[in-house]
Amino acid sequence: MPTRDFATSSPSGGRVAGAYVQPLLELAVERGVGLAALAVAAGLPEDALSPMPESLAAADYVRLLDAGAELARHPHFGLHVGERVKLGTYSVYGLILLSCRDLGQAFAQTLRYESLAHDLGRSELGVQDGTAHYQWHSHFPHASRHLAESVFAGVRVFGNWLAGTPLPAAPVSFTHGAPADVSEHHRLFGPDVEFGASTNCARFDAALLALPVPNADVGLYPVLQQHAEQLLQKKLRVQGEAGIVALVRASIASHLAQDSASLTRIAQDANLSPRTLQRKLSDANTSFQQLLDQTRQALAQGYLLRPDLSLADIAFLLGYQDQSAFNHAFREWTGGSPGSYRERRGQPGAV
């Protein structure tokens, strides 16, 4: 199955915790889909899901949803993935919800700590005229309906679990179009399900926010909240480091052909001083020179697959003064010459 190129507004380095992926894998296996086949269909290495890694890239998770639905021939794959969520699915964030005094506090913690489980989207809650509006803004607006449906099914099931009783049916709106069969949507959410709406949203009586969480261990809340806050700050730091690395790579690539990919110029693009940029890259366990070499190598290997580019052309595009400097650098990267790399991949030996 071809992989889809998802446009995304997710944070750089967006991830999904392994525990959050588990319901998807369980459903796929139950429907006769092997983990190796699922991984390959989603464009991942055959052994990517066994054993389950600590986390996956958010875009990989979205592809897994589509691959699972297709391989299992299951039109309601997303809904049924969401139905399988449990306390452990949300990791530390789930434990915090269990220590909340009421549903209102649980929603507040969701807004703050949702990203500890996944970077698939952002929750928002508002109250107007006695009606609560829960909206979920996907970071993958071009993903299939399985993503939003899995999230809302998970919220519904986990909400029932927290409340200790089935919550009243609530109107739900989805931005995607209506599938051919909506019976499962009505079973989960009730009779009022809208498709093709402007937002992914659920509306319910705001009085439900005061509904207590039975047997909540509120005494644990401060400890769990402190732990979650530490994890969140660490995650944000890591994402910030990934963001500066991605920014520098992109800036280097845009300046190479003009032979202007200098530390000073790249720092200007990042609105930082050269010294500050070097410090930030050091914090991310890399350096400007390492990123310059890595970017040049990645671009070179792509250019060498294009028969319309000579080695002299490629050297110029990579910001080298002459072809011999490019040849020397390529040997240091790969142990071979650009010409032999091109020949091994069946491209004409343009020089």
One domain for residues 191 and 262: no
What's the CA gap between 49 and 37, in Å, rounded?
10
Q: What is the pLDDT of residues 185-199, one digit of tens each?
A: 999 999 999 999 999
One domain for residues 185 and 311: no
One domain for residues 295 and 161: no
What is the mean predicted confidence (pLDDT) over 263-287? Answer: 90
One domain for residues 119 and 152: yes
One domain for residues 179 and 305: no
* Residue 52 placed within a domain: yes
One domain for residues 181 and 316: no
pLDDT over 90, % of the chain: 58
So what's the pLDDT on residue 221? 84
One domain for residues 203 and 247: no
One domain for residues 261 and 320: yes
What's the CA gap between 63 and 38, in Å, rounded?
10
One domain for residues 183 and 281: no
pLDDT over 70, % of the chain: 94
Range of the domain at 209: 15-216
pLDDT value at 211 more than 80: yes
What's the CA gap between 52 and 73, in Å, rounded?
23
> What integer best gives the mean pLDDT of the chain?
88
pTM of the full structure: 0.69
Q: What is the pLDDT of residues 226-257, one digit of tens each?
A: 888 888 888 777 777 777 887 888 888 888 87
So what's the pLDDT on residue 146? 97
Q: What is the pLDDT of residues 311-330, one digit of tens each?
A: 999 999 999 988 999 999 99
Which CATH number goes with the domain that contains 183?
3.90.1520.10
How would you class 142 by CB atoms within 10 Å of its CB: exposed for 0-12, middle for 13-18, buried for 19 or more?
exposed
Q: What is the pLDDT of residues 19-69, one digit of tens each?
A: 999 999 999 999 999 999 999 999 989 999 999 899 999 999 999 999 999
One domain for residues 301 and 158: no
One domain for residues 195 and 245: no
- 270 band by pLDDT with thresholds 50, 70 and 90: confident
Read out DSSP for 15-29? EEEHHHHHHHHHHHH
Nearest-5° Cα angle at 118, 183 to 56: 105
So what's the pLDDT on residue 309? 86
Sequence-distant (6+) residues with CB within 8 A of 123 are: 107, 110, 111, 114, 134, 135, 136, 137
Q: What is the pLDDT of residues 171-189, one digit of tens each?
A: 999 999 999 999 999 999 9
Domain count, the chain: 2
Q: Given 171, 187, 216, which residue is the final one in a domain?
A: 216
Q: β-strands 201-205, 193-194: how paired?
A: unpaired
Closest CA to 64 of 38, 83, 86: 38
- 269 band by pLDDT with thresholds 50, 70 and 90: confident
* Residue 256 placed within a domain: yes
One domain for residues 200 and 275: no
